[in-house]
Amino acid sequence: MFEEFVLAASTGDLSAEPRARADADAVEFRMDLAADPLTQLDEYDGTLPLVVTNRASWEGGEATDIGRYDALTDAIIHDAVVAVDIELAALRGNAPAGEQSHATALRSSARDEGVEVIASVHDFESTPAVGTLADLLADAAAAGDVGKLATTANAAADALAMLQATHEAVDAGRRVATMCMGEAGRHTRAVSPVYGSRIGYAPVDAADATAPGQYPLATLRRLVDGLRAEAASSRRTETGA
């Protein structure tokens, strides 16, 4: 699924999927924000593949108990589901008690179902130094099929650090998805795919953003496609192709 860049439209309402089709490659179904998420999955007849996320409250989401893993385990058996997001802290045992065994069991079940695992890290306060970012991406990429890292940029230097870490991770052969939250890093959502980030996220409806600094879906599609095309053209010019 993530051999090339994938733009995921984030929503807690799968009935919004038709509005995403023109610009998105997939839908990130935020089960923690959804009403009757498993019923929505049972009734889903859209054309876009689904990434299922049931974000824990301790990592910025609305899911408050360990039962979120049961819901995700039920979700990954649906044919439309191609990936599941699992917090790296849970996979590594750094999350609240009882999380790790459920997280690793979910990862095993996902792989049995042929569903890819996005191991994710979110920092809602800051962006660490490049070395720390690189280590987090290495750990996340090793724990899942794609390592996702979203930090908060408080200054332009933070955005530069994320782009540098993205470049180093991709150069090392890792599949990663990177972005900075907040206004100071908003542009990284459009620029990081030029450096090899595999997943971007944008709300189906701009008023329903699921993270600070998200672009509207159509805007991010236009920016990413334009920047990637320009970068490809520049590379061809440099090589004389």
* Positions marked active-site: 122, 148
DSSP track, 151-202: EE-SSHHHHHHHHHHHHHHHHTT--EEEEEESGGGTTHHHHGGGGT--EEEE
Which tokens hold the place of 146?
Answer: 């794609």
Cβ partners under 8 Å of residue 190, min gap 6: 200, 215, 220, 223, 224, 227
Distances in whole angstroms, Cα of residue 38 to Cα of each of 17, 18, 74, 99: 16, 19, 8, 21
Angle at 114 between CA 111 and CA 117, to 5 degrees: 55
Count Cβ atoms below 10 Å from residue 13 Cβ, excluding itself.
16
Count Cβ atoms below 10 Å from residue 65 Cβ, excluding itself.
10
